[in-house]
Structure 1
Amino acid sequence: MNKHTPATAPANRSKAYSYVRFSTPEQQKGDSFRRQTEAARRYADVHNLDLQEATYQDLGVSAYRGANVAETGRLREFLEAVEHEDIPRGSYLLVESLDRISRQKPRKAVRLLEQICEAGIAVVTLNDGRVYTEDSLDSDSWSLMGAMMIAIRANEESETKARRLREAWANKRRKVSDKPLSSLCPGWLRLREDRKGFDAIPERAKIVQRVFDMTLAGMGQHAIAETLNKEGIPVFGRGSHWHRTYVNKMLADASTIGAFTPHRLEIVGGKKRRIPTETVEGYFPAVVDREVFEKVNAMSSARSVKQNNGAGMANILAGLAKCPKCGATMTRVNKGGEKGGKPYLVCTKAKARGGCDYRHKVRIDGVEEAIIRNAGWLNASLPATDEALQMQYEGATNAEMAASDEIENVVEAIARGGRSAALLDRLHQNEAAREDIRRTIADLERRIADTLTNRVQVTAAQFVDAAEVEKRDVALINATLRQLFSKVEVDWPSGRLWFHWKHAPGETTGIMYAWPKEDA
């Protein structure tokens, strides 16, 4: 190769994937992120590895309790990509050190390392250049023992930090009557300048009292939020408008009568649980009478029991449906009451009169029918992760439709008695051109399928299967939709649902939905 020939990567270069993790968001501001990413880049260059752009990052995620290998962790995403063979055997996982992968109990940490290596992935620790493979763990006992020792040290460090933190908070809780645990307090209170207690903010305390009074007068939480929004009363927190959920939390918050219940963090069944400790009376200044508080909560408890009878997920777009006007969540409501009412989707911001005018109610049954009917179409519409490839495909399909329209025009001209040689020749040319376009589309479809991960395709197939069974599992359909899409815009003016694909940001697929005449 002469010096003017561009260097190209050999086809047989092994792929390498960088995994970056640190525990606290503050570490991103320091040197941790740069150090880990540059070390991976250097190692790949020196060892002639093809470092992939798909870097797996758990930033501000702890490996002590295994959060990075839980459902939301990016290391879990890497493991699933290996399982589905989207990441081929023989690839490399580049990490700064083994404790970036796990700080769990040594047995679990080593088991995770073995799981990765047994899947045909070589794990490289960049701080010492050691390479762990299935063969090395089997044949080199020192390699396995070294991994175990590193896991023991990492777990002991995390255990020590966790114990010290628990002791510090336990000490704070013991002294809670003398000094606040922290500066955190409800929105109607503020920390005193001497930091030894809290004071009520008079104008906000009056709003809290008013909310309780309106509730006792029989006004619902939606109506209360709507009233506060119409009057232009500023929200206590960072929200843009008053919402039913904030009103609900306020009414149930014992800090309104001055009580505070500290919590301690425990791991139960592998998941974090906040365990309540002894309630401290008088921790906050009370802004509501205890008798009023207890009356309101008695009303709320009775209402909750009534609403939760026969509860279950009844909306396949739960957590996904968004307003096309303001982007707020659309929630399910029943028009005409709980019994025999018709379920609708409405914009939560418009419902609370928080500034959005998209007040139309969209019947859920029409939306659900459209999604079920078009499940196969959504599956077939999986966009490529390569934007240029997707644009080529869309251009080819548009050209195919144009060619079909032209053929139809020529056929109509011939049918009207114009069987000239020129028209017949034009028909043959257009048909030949359409066949060429269709071959191009078929080739592009194969290339697009190659860019899609097996995980996405498997999830899309699961969605179709769940939608096609006679007795549908709404929760299962919703779960698959949430894996495939980041949001679904319920665009009533156009009569379409716009699905935003997770794996291809910026790509959307639209389907029509039907609504009864009274909604039109």
Structure 2
Amino acid sequence: MSDRVGSEAEPGPATAYSYIRLSSKRQSNTGDKKAYRDGLRRQLALRDEYLAANPHLTLDTTFSLHDIGVSAFTMANIAKGGDGKLALFQQAVDEGRIAKGSYLLVESLDRISRASVPVAQHMLLGLVNAGIIVVSISDKMTYRQAPNDLTSQAAFLVSVMSLMRAHEESVMKSKRLKETWEEKRRNIGSRRLTARVPGWLHEVNGVIEVHPKRGAVVKEIMELLADGWGRDRIARHLNANDVECWGHGRSWHGGTVQKITDNRALLGEFQPHRLQQVERRGIMAAKRVPVGDPIRDYLPRVIDDDLWVRARGVANRRRLGRAPNAGGRQGTRVTNLFGMVAKCAACMKPMNYRDRGPRSTPVLRCSSERAGTCTNAYRIPYYDTEAAILLWLVKLDLTAGARGELARHEEALRTKVTERDVLQARGEAIVREYGAGGRFAKVPLAEIDAAMTACEAAIADLTSKINALRLDGGRDERSAAIERLQELQRRGVPDGEVFAARMRIRQIIRDTFETMWCYPDGNIEIFTIDGGYHAFRDGYWWNEGDRTWVPSVGAMTGIPYRGTKAEMARRAEWLEQAYRAAPRIKPRNGKDP
């Protein structure tokens, strides 16, 4: 196997670079005795044998040329700007960092490329014309610049046949694999498509079941998401409680949580996919795309539809920037239950929670007034307002005026579903015409994707409201959440448990309120998803049924919220005026001030 092609003279010393490529990472598993999983050991053995037979070569160990799990059929290993090591080697040759006369050792030419012959031959000739000697060890072929050596020139005829055979093999494998999966998808009703299942499922005596521990973790994750927790915070919570992470990761992180929360397999659905070649950084790469409609009841269900809808509603609002961390970095407390809900009625900007220290009273203050661009200078006493709204929230009956609002929401839902389906059809038509990666498809597909994302968020939001109105308006859930918070506060439990309870209530408020307008005279108007109107001020709420203002403890006594004498006098004055002026409270200008 020594290098003696085209010359009887003893070759001079040179540096050899070893290029190893495996299409799949599993082929590097040398512990497996299966031959097709022994590619790494085989290539290394051939290289070492060649070097032993050619002592004039010194193996370079500073430039790692291992492409493990990289396809030569899609040109991922040679694409400029990509991560392929052969592309980096070509770049180093072009820049003169690798000396002419150096050797590139490969098991065979199909390790360099399995692309079409013009592309693969161009790659090979580019290296040879730059002064690199390419050695295909398995078939004992050497490719070099030797204008006067007919044997060396004839070797390139052999290279054409080798590269053509490699490309045809890859095309045939791709075609057969595609046909195999298409057949599996056709028979999916009678035979499982794949043995792989989500991490929260496992197989027991040939039957797929929900893993008892992991299933409980999934439910907890979805409940926390529905209660307004962000995915990063959920991950930190799981890690802090030593919850085992399944899969390849050693700990939870936001991305791991998102893979669970976004997967409709939680509902027992299975979505078949196929691989589609798309352009990425100048190369064609495989991307999984859905095929056909999801198959219901294919897998065991882990959560119910109501939990899925509530959690997805929160997640979609976060994705569209409508439900960020309203109070900034929260640590272990949720100070403001009305973040992203309370707005100034004068300028429509958010009302911020402000606490100037232990000798002051926390308030809601217009964010624009603080910056000098709004005239709403009223400081709404936060604790009294929160206490009054929670007292009212327990009694709130969303079903009273739900019929008209339910019909309105259902009509809006039908409209959004139709809009989404039209967008889906448009996108599929573009893909059929131009392909997903075509230059004429990228911009319209991106626009369609953004519009569909907005539609899906609206669908989740409307579905959540409809479910609340169809049942009991969520009264049981609100009562349980508020009673839980009051119990924790009485017991003086750690901040972590109180945090979770307040997060849940904050999300209930966001799901229940349409708007919460704060006026310069201190009045607050809340419109709920059933179309109802509700009035508040300084810790009092207007009970239309009893036709009276109902106070919280702090609003009535100033205890324990440090109400000053001036504050209490002001409350008494407006309360007396309110009863004299208007026994019935009405909204000022409808839902929009």
Alignment of 1:82-101 (within 5 A): 82-101=93-112
- Once the two structures are TM-superposed, the CA of residue 136 in structure 1 deviates from its matched residue by 5.3
- Equivalent residue, structure 1, for 2:462: none
Q: 1:92 to 1:178 in 2, by over 3 A?
A: same
- 8 Å Cα contact 1:136/1:143 also seen in 2: no
Alignment of 1:111-190 (within 5 A): 111-135=122-146, 142-190=154-202
1:148 is matched by which residue type in structure 2? Answer: V
- 8 Å Cα contact 1:41/1:51 also seen in 2: no
Corresponding residue to 2:208 among 198, 207, 211: 198
Distance of 2:114 and 2:177 partners within structure 1: 17
Per-residue CA deviation, residues 244-280 of structure 1 (Å, 9 max, x unaligned), is 3333332221111111212111212212211111222
Per-residue CA deviation, residues 41-83 of structure 1 (Å, 9 max, x unaligned), is 4444545532223362334433222232242222222212212
Distance of 1:35 and 1:216 partners within structure 2: 52
Alignment of 1:71-470 (within 5 A): 71-135=82-146, 142-194=154-206, 198-269=208-279, 270-278=284-292, 279-306=294-321, 335=329
Per-residue CA deviation, residues 152-175 of structure 1 (Å, 9 max, x unaligned), is 111111112222222222222222
- Confirm whether residue 56 of structure 1 aligns to residue 39 of structure 2: no
- Once the two structures are TM-superposed, the CA of residue 180 in structure 1 deviates from its matched residue by 2.3
Per-residue CA deviation, residues 134-185 of structure 1 (Å, 9 max, x unaligned), is 4459977643332211111111111122222222222222222223222322
Q: SS where residue 68 of structure 1 aligns?
A: coil
- Equivalent residue, structure 1, for 2:77: 68
Aligned-residue sequence identity (percent) comes to 32
- 8 Å Cα contact 1:20/1:33 also seen in 2: yes
TM-score, length basis structure 2? 0.46
- Once the two structures are TM-superposed, the CA of residue 306 in structure 1 deviates from its matched residue by 1.1
- Equivalent residue, structure 2, for 1:21: 21
2:198 is matched by which residue type in structure 1? Answer: P
Distance of 1:127 and 1:178 partners within structure 2: 45
Distance of 2:233 and 2:41 partners within structure 1: 51
Distance of 1:82 and 1:230 partners within structure 2: 50
Distance of 2:238 and 2:41 partners within structure 1: 47
Q: SS where residue 19 of structure 2 aligns?
A: strand
Q: SS where residue 284 of structure 1 aligns?
A: coil
- Confirm whether residue 36 of structure 1 aligns to residue 43 of structure 2: yes
Distance of 2:138 and 2:100 partners within structure 1: 24
Q: SS where residue 277 of structure 2 aligns?
A: strand
- Equivalent residue, structure 2, for 1:511: none
- 8 Å Cα contact 1:18/1:51 also seen in 2: no
- 8 Å Cα contact 1:190/1:201 also seen in 2: yes
Distance of 1:58 and 1:187 partners within structure 2: 29
Distance of 1:236 and 1:190 partners within structure 2: 12
Distance of 1:204 and 1:36 partners within structure 2: 41
Q: 1:159 to 1:289 in 2, by over 3 A?
A: same
- 8 Å Cα contact 1:114/1:134 also seen in 2: no
Structure 1 residues not aligned, in runs of 5+ = 1-9, 310-332, 340-520
Distance of 2:142 and 2:59 partners within structure 1: 18
4+ residue runs over 6 A deviation: 137-141, 336-339
Q: 1:15 to 1:249 in 2, by over 3 A?
A: closer
Distance of 1:245 and 1:95 partners within structure 2: 38
Distance of 2:233 and 2:20 partners within structure 1: 48
Distance of 1:170 and 1:241 partners within structure 2: 36
Q: 1:210 to 1:124 in 2, by over 3 A?
A: closer
- 8 Å Cα contact 1:212/1:296 also seen in 2: yes
Structure 2 residues not aligned, in runs of 5+ = 1-9, 332-338, 341-593
Q: 1:136 to 1:176 in 2, by over 3 A?
A: farther
Q: SS where residue 300 of structure 2 aligns?
A: coil
Q: 1:200 to 1:107 in 2, by over 3 A?
A: same
Distance of 1:134 and 1:84 partners within structure 2: 19
* Higher Cα radius of gyration: 2
2:315 is matched by which residue type in structure 1? Answer: S
Q: SS where residue 198 of structure 1 aligns?
A: strand
Q: 1:131 to 1:249 in 2, by over 3 A?
A: closer
